Amino acid sequence: MSKIQIFNEKSIPNIPWEDRPDNCQDVMWRYSKNPVIPRDLIPNYSNSIFNSAVISREGQFAGVFRCDDKTRKMVLHRGFSKNGIQWELDPDPIQFKCKDEEIGNFVYGYDPRVVWIEDRYYVTWCNYYHGPTIGVGYTHDFQTFHQLENAFIPYNRNGVLFPRKINGLYGIMSRPSDNAHTPFGDIFYSQSPDMCYWGKHRFMMGPVGNSWQYTKIGAGPIPIETSEGWLLIYHGVLTSCNGYVYSAGVALLDLEQPWKVIARAKPYILSPQTLY
Amino acid sequence: MSKIQIFNEKSIPNIPWEDRPDNCQDVMWRYSKNPVIPRDLIPNYSNSIFNSAVISREGQFAGVFRCDDKTRKMVLHRGFSKNGIQWELDPDPIQFKCKDEEIGNFVYGYDPRVVWIEDRYYVTWCNYYHGPTIGVGYTHDFQTFHQLENAFIPYNRNGVLFPRKINGLYGIMSRPSDNAHTPFGDIFYSQSPDMCYWGKHRFMMGPVGNSWQYTKIGAGPIPIETSEGWLLIYHGVLTSCNGYVYSAGVALLDLEQPWKVIARAKPYILSPQTLY
Amino acid sequence: MSKIQIFNEKSIPNIPWEDRPDNCQDVMWRYSKNPVIPRDLIPNYSNSIFNSAVISREGQFAGVFRCDDKTRKMVLHRGFSKNGIQWELDPDPIQFKCKDEEIGNFVYGYDPRVVWIEDRYYVTWCNYYHGPTIGVGYTHDFQTFHQLENAFIPYNRNGVLFPRKINGLYGIMSRPSDNAHTPFGDIFYSQSPDMCYWGKHRFMMGPVGNSWQYTKIGAGPIPIETSEGWLLIYHGVLTSCNGYVYSAGVALLDLEQPWKVIARAKPYILSPQTLY
Amino acid sequence: MSKIQIFNEKSIPNIPWEDRPDNCQDVMWRYSKNPVIPRDLIPNYSNSIFNSAVISREGQFAGVFRCDDKTRKMVLHRGFSKNGIQWELDPDPIQFKCKDEEIGNFVYGYDPRVVWIEDRYYVTWCNYYHGPTIGVGYTHDFQTFHQLENAFIPYNRNGVLFPRKINGLYGIMSRPSDNAHTPFGDIFYSQSPDMCYWGKHRFMMGPVGNSWQYTKIGAGPIPIETSEGWLLIYHGVLTSCNGYVYSAGVALLDLEQPWKVIARAKPYILSPQTLY
Amino acid sequence: MSKIQIFNEKSIPNIPWEDRPDNCQDVMWRYSKNPVIPRDLIPNYSNSIFNSAVISREGQFAGVFRCDDKTRKMVLHRGFSKNGIQWELDPDPIQFKCKDEEIGNFVYGYDPRVVWIEDRYYVTWCNYYHGPTIGVGYTHDFQTFHQLENAFIPYNRNGVLFPRKINGLYGIMSRPSDNAHTPFGDIFYSQSPDMCYWGKHRFMMGPVGNSWQYTKIGAGPIPIETSEGWLLIYHGVLTSCNGYVYSAGVALLDLEQPWKVIARAKPYILSPQTLY
Amino acid sequence: MSKIQIFNEKSIPNIPWEDRPDNCQDVMWRYSKNPVIPRDLIPNYSNSIFNSAVISREGQFAGVFRCDDKTRKMVLHRGFSKNGIQWELDPDPIQFKCKDEEIGNFVYGYDPRVVWIEDRYYVTWCNYYHGPTIGVGYTHDFQTFHQLENAFIPYNRNGVLFPRKINGLYGIMSRPSDNAHTPFGDIFYSQSPDMCYWGKHRFMMGPVGNSWQYTKIGAGPIPIETSEGWLLIYHGVLTSCNGYVYSAGVALLDLEQPWKVIARAKPYILSPQTLY
């Protein structure tokens, strides 16, 4: 185990860290002072703030946050933090610049991810364009954000880019959906030479019966490149008699053909057991 | 009216034609000897044959047909006819040649369309790949058929190509779907430089309330280029208390930006009123 | 049996009549030359014409017809006939005059009924006003039609007036609904002093399990007053594995308290067995 | 802002009041000692007590309360309080006196509202009569309660009277429904000369897409008459993947034509964020 | 093929037979004078008669028929025929004698099967007892019918006995269901020493994806014992956009362990293609 | 009341007991130190542990527990306790020995019950065998567990044995289901001479409208034999707008014909009001 190497990693000395509690044998554990981001961090405005996408930059932290305002409209806000714990969020939503007026007409967006590829930070999110689909944008400086073409036709959610080109092509995971609380969902892998046109779609993996992930699954944060393959943290859903229950799990993907699953842990690594 | 010109038309002297019956004022009318293709044209094999895609070629006719066999599996068969009325169908399904084994693994396919673009006949169909999506292939001679990458991630149906590049890009219509008898559906327009990667997805049009097309719509045959715009024949669905009812309607699309609808007829031009 | 008397009946010597066929023991039987009204009676316009409401007037016949045009919009047309078999329909829909602009804004309407009460012909129909509800209007001459207030809040269908005031109040049957292909439905009786405000709503009867009327029921034509009670012909629906199946049945209602059901035949009197 | 005047207001010196907390900028805020009414206020009987309708009377407070007993049957109880905080509830449900036996047969009832109009306290509630509808009653003294005719045919909920006649007619809001957890719902306004017959139904307002009120809405407490219009507090519902989420919002209605909405706040003013 | 032997067969010289039409290559073909049983064979009573269970007896034919009367109640009638084509049906439903009053209380029943085992004719049917389940009865003479205990708890349908004990135990197939138009369904095999208590339930086979039998399947007539195994004719259902479509298929079951499927034909052998 | 006698009771001096709190008038009350079994009692393994089946044995306690592991697979674990409060659970699931390989193939199981009958402890549980059904096993010593045939065909849940033969037959309650979160459910009683074959199924009782048990009901722990009848504690479900709500109620069953309900309390005796 100790020989596994994380590729392309950047040292982040000030990353918030809390050791595993005694008596805890879990692979992943909760921060004892959760929640990090209170729901009302933007006063008189935010109903809830979550599904954050945070990166380390210039010794500090920056991120894009899903913020539901008090109309329950979902929008994206940028935020900054020196230590990853105390955050300041821009009270104004991100205004993407877009060459095409129809695409740039922001209706609502949520569940952002941020990743550095080559020379800039790419942002993807679930973007409403006659249905939920995958919005794509970028920023160099977290000041100005540019919006590109949507990666897919609706209906799609959970679009997550890989942090480098693979075989000369950008790679993205997504979960094709319907237009509501979709009761099915697989992860697919798609490829693009230019971040505009996407193709060579490949099935990656689907739900697992009789388990925490039997209804649907979707990619989580940006995959981590290791010597053994891409480490993917993803979410799975089961349908209880009171609705959906979300948990998180892990899988290992082939480095060059990431839609090929090398290994997939059967247990979840995080599940909802605590009330905040 | 008489000044409308059909572009790129090819004279087909032997196209089957029947004049409009007396007393009929409809825009479109039924062939009096329907059905052209009997359901058992492939003996001891076919349950039903329909949704044909026919082109004129070398003074005769060729086509790709949706054939449901007696397991009710949907497959594609090629067929040939001298007069467009009497048809011979190859009793063996089309075997596409495909460079990628996973994509070339034909599970089932239906609702083909055929169109000549530049130097070959392109075939699109609803292709099952972990869900219905849009399969793409081509043939030069109706002997050998080649399969390309699927145009989209599932779930999608009714993929229809435009008969020429527009602004240097191939154009396709499709109807994003869910994984069953989808109760919604708009037509979108997508673009590709190379028939492999697709993007610049644009909403074209959606259902119309209180009408024959209130549940969903989808493109029909290849659009016809005219001096006034692309003439699109499409289908619409209403949900009766006995299920879906399909009718056909027409719209006129902008020549250079085909997702912009210039005009759309409110009445249907064909609806199910006759039992065969 | 022979002592039963129909009240308030008007002699209609020219009413179309066809004797019961030999070998037929049914209470009601089909006209051998059905359909009386062909679906395309209004040329180049009508998709279907049905659920007619016909009365005898000045030795001839007049009626209000549900007509679905070729956009499948449902509207109401008046029609006239000398013999009740050959009909001429006004190709233009009825334009109701209404004092209130918001109520008079006709979106769509269907399933009309016509009844003479006191000094005029009242028309009721399923009228769309932010949902289906019961529209009410009247005419003196089948030339000019006036629209009154809707009888109910949505969602309601199958509004049928009684042909005279009962205990000094107008009486109407209706079937409260939801906003789609409602899978439930009882008949209620409501009362009004002035055809504007309605109240004193009473439950009349509901579906019957394990029968042709297990899903929902609704009033049919205007009830017939007899010495034994009001004779009500109504429809019932069962849900087959291919959707709704409609049949017609009969009940006998108390003359003074019509929501009290004196008798109700278990078998249907007409069911769908013939294809036109 | 300061010029807005509340009409017809009655001074209630002992109304419970708690100033807005520091750091809180909300329009409405929670009482710090919630819940006011514990679920077991009627010992060995009540499962939960809520959706109360409280008025000030003779320097004290009285109210009608929805109480679910331990069979989970919903009934109405009266209660009294000197300070609006400590309440005594009559352990016996209200027994309405009704002239009509069928209407007076109380099956279950919930979500009461109480309002003084002219000379008495009117009570409305969701009353089961072959489906949920709007029950109407009154009391002069909170000792004897009289039941009138139901205002509407089923299926209806959230019936809320206006505190005075408008243009000589009583006014009521309601939300037409289906017979279960209705997934749609608009507010309508209806009018009556006599609290018995209702008509002149007008659409007031409906849900708002992509917001806390996208599934359905319904009126809340009695509207407050101000110089700017009727101030309406109402509830809205969104459908999460775990069911319905209820929030409260505000709108301003025209004084003489209350179905005309002058203004409607986009954000909610209260949403479920605390567990009691 | 010619070496396959039917076991336990009884010569029935007068069985109705019609040779396969020229041009027909199907395994099974339609009788040219269908329908054999007209829907109104019991005058003024039957809405439809079908799903018959017919046996040869004393050189003639007898059977139990599902008859829906004009209330659409489903009951069982016995019938007799000399040639298998002209039938006389007892106009009165079968009255089963039953030792237990609660079980003998016939609510409704349908889809009967009849089979000779050892010394009597057993009848099974879908019997309503707080839900559909499998009723069991017998007759020696088609005059008196005795009812036994239901084979299963609800909800179950399509109970079909094997014509002899296997390994000393009676064998029955059934299709566990829900309480409506069940959208799933496998065939199970159950065993009994005494026709009263049943157990040792074994899964036999289920639906097949992308085929005429993808929604559910259920046993058809009594299996035919051959030297190669039990020949089972069964039905399968696909869900079209207009509801369920039923077809018939065949399978071959192990003689001693009939839940083990030796072979199963992929195509159907009969499907709905003709309107009667 | 004091004359009611519990039959066949065994003195359990060390049974955990806590007196009813002051101010509490409930029939049943919560243990003040709930939860007895923490969700993570099996470290690094259990997601949740509940629906336990505990018996007193040799002065101590033993039980079978539903344990959901971190894949959310449901399995059964045995556990032991000296005082009924502190428990040790075997970290390995119970491995049943079964003569039939197909039946013994444990897919998943949950909601166990344990009861001593005659000479051994019988265990029943919801056992997946091509759908949920009732698994049956036994143990003499809580060391070795034997699995018998499933009591029923799928789909069934909540199988609960009676603690002695009644009229010479084993008795079991169960709740026939569908294959998901079944929205209906009655309790039936079935009988067996040998724990292998089951029959003589009788309807016991069903849901009650407008109450905590209107959606479905199912048996709880082993019934308690008293001089007045079998005391049954069972659960009922109502469907809120956020899903199912489970409560517990009581009924009294006839001693010799347990499907006959002597009495049934209208209120629940326990409902979800506390968060653990």
Six-digit token string for E199:
């157990």
**Cα dist from C181 to A204, C112, C268, F110, whole Å:** 40, 18, 22, 39
Quote the CA–CA distance of B110 and B125 in Å, as a whole number: 6
Query: How far apart are the C-alpha atoms of C151 and D176, rounded to whole Å?
Result: 14
Q: B64, B57 in Cβ contact below 8 A?
A: no
- Taking residue D17's Cβ as centre, other Cβ atoms within 10 Å add up to 8
Q: In this complex, is the C-beta atom of D125 within 8 Å of any C-beta atom belonging to chain C?
A: no
Q: Which of A41, A69, A72 to mutate to test the interface with D (most CBs of D within 10 A)?
A: A72
Model confidence at B2, in pLDDT bands (50, 70, 90)? Answer: low
pLDDT tens across A127-136, in order? 999 999 999 9
The 10 Å CB-count burial string (b at 16+, else e) for E129-167 is bbbbbbbbbbbeebeebbbbbbbbbbbbbbbbbbbeebe
Residue closest to E173 by CA, chosen among E203, E149, E129, E137:
E203
Mean pLDDT for the stretch of residues E115-120: 97
DSSP code, position D104: H
DSSP B227-259: TTEEEEEEEEEEEETTEEEEEEEEEEE-SSSTT
Q: Which residues in chain C are contacts of D129 at CB distance < 8 A? A: 201, 203
Of C2, D210, B57, which Cα lies nearest the Cα of A110? D210
Q: C-chain residues within 8 Å CB-CB of D186?
A: 130-131
> Do C71 and B275 count as a contact with CB atoms less than 8 A apart?
no
Q: Does D70 touch chain F (CB under 8 A)?
A: yes
According to DSSP, residue C169 is labeled: B
**Predicted pLDDT of residue A2:** 62
Nearest CB among B71, B72, B244 relative to E241 is that of: B244
Chain C hits for B211, CB-CB cut-off 8 Å, are 71-73
What is the number of other CB atoms lying within 10 angstroms of the CB of residue D78?
21
- State both tokens at B75: 């497959």
Do B67 and B49 contact (CB within 8 A), yes or no? Answer: yes
Closest Cα in chain F to E170: F197
Task: Provide mean pLDDT across the span E108-125.
Answer: 97
Count Cβ atoms within 10 A of the Cβ of residue E261 and give its class: 0-12 exposed, 13-18 middle, 19 or more buried: middle
% chain F with pLDDT above 90? 90
Which residue has tokens 């697919």?
A188
Interface check for B69 against chain E (CB to CB < 8 A): the answer is: yes
pLDDT, average across residues E68-77 = 96
Instruction: Check if the beta carbon of residue A236 is closer than 8 Å to that of residue A256.
Output: no
Helical segments of chain F, H only: 101-104
Q: Do D275 and F271 touch (CB under 8 A)?
A: no
Q: Over 70: is that where the pLDDT of F1 sits?
A: no
Edge-to-edge strands, sheet with C132-139: C96-98, C145-147, C132-139, C120-128, C109-117
Question: Rounded CA gap, C216 and D171, in Å?
Answer: 32
> Could C70 and B238 be called an inter-chain contact, meaning their C-beta atoms sit closer than 8 Å?
no
Nearest to B198 among A176, A179, A198 (CB): A198
Angle at CA F84, nearest 5°, toward F82 and F89? 75
Residues F180-193: tens digit of each pLDDT: 999 999 999 999 99
Q: Which residues does E194 contact at the CB level (< 8 Å), separation at least 6?
A: E170, F197
DSSP of A151-182, one letter per residue? SS-SSEEEEEE-SS-BTTBEEEEEEE--SSS-
Residue E241 is nearest to which of B47, B107, B243, comparing CB atoms? B243
Question: Length of chain C, please?
Answer: 276
* CA–CA distance, B228 with D75 (Å, rounded to integer): 68
What mean pLDDT is predicted for residues B26-45? 92
F149, F179, F184 ranked by CB distance to E199: nearest? F149
Q: Which of residues 166-185 of D touch F (CB under 8 A)?
A: 181
Do C130 and D193 make contact, defined as CB atoms within 8 angstroms? no
Residue of F nearest to A274 (CA): F276
Q: Is the pLDDT of residue E1 over 60?
A: no
**pLDDT tens per residue across span E178-223:** 999 999 999 999 999 999 999 999 999 999 999 999 999 999 999 9
Chain C within 8 Å of E254 (Cβ-Cβ)? no
**pLDDT reported for residue D23:** 84
Q: Is the pLDDT of residue B154 over 80?
A: yes
pLDDT, residue E25, reads 86
Q: What percent of chain D has pLDDT over 90?
A: 90
pLDDT bracket for residue D275 (50, 70, 90): confident
Distance (Å, whole) CA F150 – CA F157: 12
**Which residue of C lies nearest to E70 if distances are taken between CA atoms?**
C267
Query: CA nearest A264 in F: which residue?
Result: F71
* Helix or strand holding residue A203 (H, E): strand A199-205
Tens-digit pLDDT profile for residues A206-255: 999 999 999 999 999 999 999 999 999 999 999 999 999 999 999 999 99
In angstroms, the CA C58 to CA C63 distance is 13
**If you ran DSSP here, which 8-state letter would residue C42 be given?**
S
Chain pair A-F, CB pairs under 8 angstroms: 42
B contacts of A153 (beta carbons < 8 Å): 152-153, 156, 174, 176, 188, 190, 201
Reduced to 3 states (helix: H, G, I; strand: E, B; else coil), residue A222 is coil
CB-based touch F/B (3+ pairs, under 8 A): no
Q: One-letter amino acid identity for D53?
A: A
Which helix (DSSP H) or strand (DSSP E) does residue B103 occupy? helix B101-104
Residue F273: closest CA among chain D residues belongs to which residue?
Answer: D47
**F240 touching D, CB under 8 A?**
yes
CB contact under 8 A, E271 and B108: no
Question: Looking at the complex, does the CB of residue B272 fall below 8 Å from at least one CB of chain E?
Answer: no
Chain A touches chain F, with at least 3 Cβ pairs below 8 Å, answer: yes
Taking an 8 Å cut-off on Cβ atoms, the answer to whether A267 and F69 are in contact is yes
- Determine the residue of chain F that is closest to A27 in CA distance: F44
Instruction: For chain F, give the mean pLDDT.
Output: 95
Q: A164-205, pLDDT tens digit by residue?
A: 999 999 999 999 999 999 999 999 999 999 999 999 999 999
Report the chain C residue with the minimal C-alpha distance to residue E180.
C241
Question: In chain D, which residues have their Cβ closer than 8 Å to the Cβ of A39?
Answer: 273
């579906």: which residue's tokens? C207
Nearest chain C CA: its distance from E73 CA (Å): 6
Torsional class of D8: left (φ above 0), alpha (ψ -120 to 50), beta (otherwise) = left
On whether any CB of chain E is under 8 Å from the CB of F30, the answer is no
Question: Cβ contact (<8 Å) for F39 and A275?
Answer: no
Is residue B115 pLDDT above 80, yes or no?
yes
End-to-end CA distance of chain A: 35
pLDDT for C2 equals 62
* DSSP state letter for E71: T
Chains D and B touch (3+ CB pairs under 8 A): no
Cβ–Cβ gap E186/F130 under 8 Å: yes
pLDDT at residue number F2: 62
Confidence of residue F10 (pLDDT cuts 50, 70, 90): confident
CA-to-CA distance for E23 and A158, rounded, in angstroms? 56
Question: For the residues E141-158, what does the mean pLDDT come to?
Answer: 98
Spatial neighbors of A97 by CB under 8 A, at least 6 apart, are A104, A144, A145, A146, A147
Q: What is the DSSP letter of D39?
A: T
F41 touching chain D per CB within 8 A: no
Q: Are F188 and F234 in contact (CB under 8 A)?
A: no
Residues in D closer than 8 angstroms to C179, CB to CB, are 178, 184
**C166 pLDDT more than 80:** yes
Backbone φ and ψ for C103, nearest 5 degrees, come out as -70, -35
Mutate to test the interface with D, among C170, C200, C201, C205 (most CBs of D within 10 A): C201
Question: With a CB-CB cutoff of 8 Å, which residues 81-100 of chain F face chain A?
Answer: none
Closest Cα of chain C to B68: distance in Å? 21
Does residue E198 sit at the F interface (CB-CB below 8 Å)? Answer: yes
Q: Which amino acid is at B47?
A: N
Q: Which chains touch F (3 or more CB pairs under 8 A)?
A: A, D, E
Taking a C-beta distance cutoff of 8 angstroms, is the pair E151, E172 a contact? yes
pLDDT tens digits, C63-119: 999 999 999 999 999 999 999 999 999 999 999 999 999 999 999 999 999 999 999
Among candidates C197, C202, C206 on the partner chain, residue whose Cβ is nearest the Cβ of D199: C197
Selecting from B192, B196, B200 the residue whose C-beta is nearest the C-beta of A149 gives B200
Are B238 and B244 in contact by the 8 Å Cβ rule? The answer is yes
Alpha carbon distances (Å) from C101 to C97, C104, F265: 9, 5, 57
Mutate: best of F133, F134, F194, F197, partner E, most E CBs <10 A: F197
Strand runs labelled E in chain D: 46-57, 60-69, 74-81, 88-89, 96-98, 109-117, 120-128, 132-139, 145-147, 156-161, 170-176, 187-192, 197-205, 216-219, 224-226, 229-240, 243-253, 261-264
**How much is the ipTM here?**
0.95
| Average pLDDT of the segment spanning B157-175 | 98
Please give the pLDDT value at position E247.
Answer: 97
Element (H, E) at A106: none
Average pLDDT over residues B85-108: 97
Interface test with A, best of B197, B216, B259, B261 (most A CBs within 10 A): B197
Average confidence (pLDDT) over C181-210: 97
E238 CB within 8 Å of a chain B CB:
yes
Distances (CA, A) of E97 to D89, E139, E144, E145: 59, 10, 8, 6
Among residues of chain F, what percentage have pLDDT more than 70? 99
Which residue in B44, B49, B71 has the most chain E C-beta atoms within 10 A of its own C-beta, making it the best mutation to test that interface? B71
What pLDDT, on a 0 to 100 scale, did the predictor assign at position A51? 82
The three-state DSSP-derived secondary structure of B10-21 is CCCCCCCCCCCC
CB pairs under 8 A between C and D: 90
